[in-house]
A and B are shown apart, each in its own frame.
Chain A
Amino acid sequence: MKYLGIDPQKIKIGVFNFTCCEGCALALANKEETLVDFLDLLDVVTFREISSDRGEDYDIALVEGSISRDDEIERIKKIRAQAKVLVALGTCACYGGVNNLKNQFKIEEVVEIAYGKDKVETSKVRPLSDVVKVDLEIPGCPVSKAEVEKIVVDIVNQSEINFPEYPVCVECRRNMNTCVFDLGMICLGPITQAGCDAVCPNGGVGCLGCRGPAEDANYESFREILEENGFTMQEALERINFYNALPGMVIDES
């Protein structure tokens, strides 16, 4: 993937947030060992969480969060018009993420549950790509800073950007973890794109698929794994729906 027209010397970057926990933007400020070098590579013109500078001349927009109110549509369109490259940062931005759980209810119902009789403006949750053209999606809840750093450097150097095609299981086995299926829990690792170093199974819990489907995900054999381990599709669905990031996991009720 090549992006022309960006001065590779000092790349102007803006960080923006929509409906989300802001954990992905914060992940960028973590990993202190490389923070100073990373910031040195960039010209951060807008990053409201850490700076009162508010430049409008960014080339790359890193955008976290989903769209869940009409005024957010206007805001993201303006960012789209300015940015040469718009990057969806994190599962909320790429897939709707956990915010999507709101869509199982009617809008009036969620407002009533959280605010009682008070009026609150809100709409259905959507990923960024439902509203504007997105050039690149970096999934993760939160994103891996190492991956974002690498990708930003790739954009600066105009080199090709690659995501792992294999599933989380590959990283998990490399780390020599006990498979969480053997601990009696469901894991979506077999169908989920690697790149997080299997952080959830490393910690002894199942993957919830925040990084979206692996290129070579085999849903058929995943259903067999579920069955062999005695899990119902309902139990698996609670997990698959958690991030709404595995649209390919078509549920065949037979």
Chain B
Amino acid sequence: MKVNMKIDVHHVCRVEGHGDIHIKVKDGKLLEAQWAVVETPRFFEAMLRGQPYDLAPTLSSRICGICSITHTLASLRAVERAMDVKIPPAARHLRLLAKHAETLQSHILHVFFLAAPDFLGVPSVIPLIKTNPEVVGLAARLKGLANDICDLVAGRTIHPVSLIVGGVSKAPEKEQLEAIKKRLGERLPDMQATVDLFKTIDIPDFVRETEYISLKGDNDYPYIGGDMVSTDGVVKHEDDYLAMTNEYKEDFTTSKFARLSRESMAVGALARFNNNYKFLHQEAKEAAKELGLQPVNHNPFMNNVAQVVESLNAMLDCIDVIDQLLDMKLNNIRSKFKVRAGTGVAAVEAPRGILYHDYTIDDTGHVTRANCIIPTTQNNANIHFDLADLTEWALAQGKNDQEITLLSEMLVRAYDPCISCSVH
């Protein structure tokens, strides 16, 4: 049987930002598969120029509504490395707590609101309010908790206010931290129920080998700063990020593509899992096992599962960080520093993968040059090449164009692309 198909998905839904899928099949053969980002670029690298060092993180936050805490942290670290500012330990812990809570918030939003409707056969989370209220309840409680932690530690969930150069501008009271810790413990059964829910979900059995890149943990699962590592065995210092984010631009997309050792690469939860499995909490490792996820896994759809595992891990990390904070004095939260000229590179693991901000600052404390490398940008080429393989894989199984359309949309969503971010 000769199959012809022309699939065009305009503005894939349930992803942050705008992207299109184009697939052409003629006589059963794949002619073309494209992932085209059609977002209007926003030019943050230009807008950052001339900003004073203290407003650069506030501006960078506006790159993305979902991972604004991560962008703020990367921007702070770039400024602090440029001006040689060291931050007090309590501030470091508070930032990490905000980071974990954002990871939890972002992953829960993605697995329940954006990815799960495909697996449950509905267009969005809205009909689930009636049909599966227990699922929506789980998501709302976990996400609500994560948002409350962000509000408490960073002053606001979307676009934090109290993460500032030199540390943080405000620390929560210890009683508030105790209360959050108690709530984290009470929500762990919800997290286990989420793991159980994902055990019942059928993940497409598709594999395409690629290079997974993340930060490299030293003693912990990595989040802020440090070397990057790849499943192809490459290790690079934070300052040498340009080697791995070899950006290039294709005509059909407004986002750049990136590569390291191969034609494409992947970052995000699955990449972190593949590279840093040994640093996960024992409970998270067990959850991964129950969910059929073991390192190194090359199925892009398993990124959803890696996000579930990381959500559990993030909750346990939050509890650990709070325990450490409870043993500390919370009055020294911001260090004194002098404005000075310099260049600083910062790597942070965003929910969707490794993020770099790189600034040059002049002796008046103003940014004169900025480069930001965004996780989705790094995944775009991988999504693009996956689409071709996925189409061929699906054709071989005799899938029709509707099934292939859905699979390709699910593939894009599995990467949890943040397109606003990628066209910063």
Contacts and interface: CB of A to CB of B under 8 A. Distances in A.
Given A142-B158, A205-B164, A36 B123 contact: no
Contact of B17 (A22, A31, A35, A203): A22
Task: Tell me if B's interface is mostly helix, strand, loop or mixed.
Answer: loop
B125 A50 contact: yes
Given A23-B65, A32-B141, A52-B13, A44 B161 contact: no
A141 to B, nearest CB: 6
A105 B66 CA distance: 28
Contact of A30 (B16, B157, B169): B157
B156 interface: yes
Q: How big is chain B's contact interface, by range?
A: 35 or more
A19 B42 contact: yes
A211 to B, nearest CB: 13
B420 interface: yes
B68 interface: yes
Contact of B41 (A24, A104, A122): A122
B24 to A, nearest CB: 22
A68 B141 CA distance: 37
Contact of A242 (B11, B13, B41, B59): B59
Contacts of A203: 154-156, 160-162, 169-170
Contact of B64 (A21, A31, A114): A21
A127 B237 CA distance: 42
A117 to B, nearest CB: 9
A209 B51 CA distance: 16
Contacts of B59: 98, 101, 242
A1 interface: no
A25 interface: yes
B161 A50 contact: no
Given A50-B124, A199-B161, A239 B420 contact: no
B62 A32 contact: no
B170 A35 contact: no
Interface string A10-32: 00000000111111111101111
Contacts of B147: 30-32
B107 interface: no
Interface in B5-57: 11, 13-17, 40-47, 49-52, 55
Contacts of B383: none
A4 interface: no
Contact of B16 (A22, A51, A52): A22
Interface string B357-375: 0000000000000000000
Contacts of B292: none
Most buried by A among B65, B140, B141: B65
Contacts of B140: 32, 35-36
B46 A242 contact: no
A7 interface: no
Interface residues of A, number: 59
Contact of A50 (B43, B114, B156): B114
Contacts of B13: 48-49, 51-52, 54
A98 to B, nearest CB: 5
A246 B162 CA distance: 23
Contact of A102 (B42, B68, B155): B42
A32 B47 contact: no
A208 B161 CA distance: 11
A99 interface: yes
A36 B47 CA distance: 38
A178 B245 CA distance: 44
B144 A101 contact: no
Nearest to B147: A30
Interface string B100-143: 00000000010001100100000111100100000010001101
B47 A98 contact: yes
A239 B58 CA distance: 11
Contacts of B123: 51-53
Contacts of A32: 140-141, 143-144, 147
Contacts of A26: 16, 65-66, 158
A53 B42 contact: no
Which of A39, A50, A68 has the most chain B CB atoms inside 10 A of its CB? Answer: A50
Contacts of A134: none
A115 B141 CA distance: 42
A49 to B, nearest CB: 6
A218 interface: no
Given A142-B65, A238-B55, A48 B49 contact: no
B355 interface: no
Contact of A39 (B11, B15, B63, B129): B129
A142 B45 CA distance: 21
A128 to B, nearest CB: 14
A110 interface: yes
A132 B49 CA distance: 31
Contacts of B169: 203-205
A109 B45 CA distance: 11
Interface centre among B13, B64, B154 (most CB of A within 10 A): B13
A25 B42 CA distance: 18
15 contacts: A21-B420, A23-B158, A36-B136, A39-B129, A49-B114, A50-B126, A51-B14, A51-B123, A52-B123, A104-B50, A105-B46, A142-B159, A199-B155, A203-B156, A203-B169
Given A23-B64, A50-B114, A110-B43, 15 more contacts: A22-B66, A29-B113, A49-B14, A50-B125, A51-B124, A54-B13, A101-B59, A102-B43, A109-B46, A113-B45, A141-B159, A142-B159, A202-B161, A238-B51, A238-B55
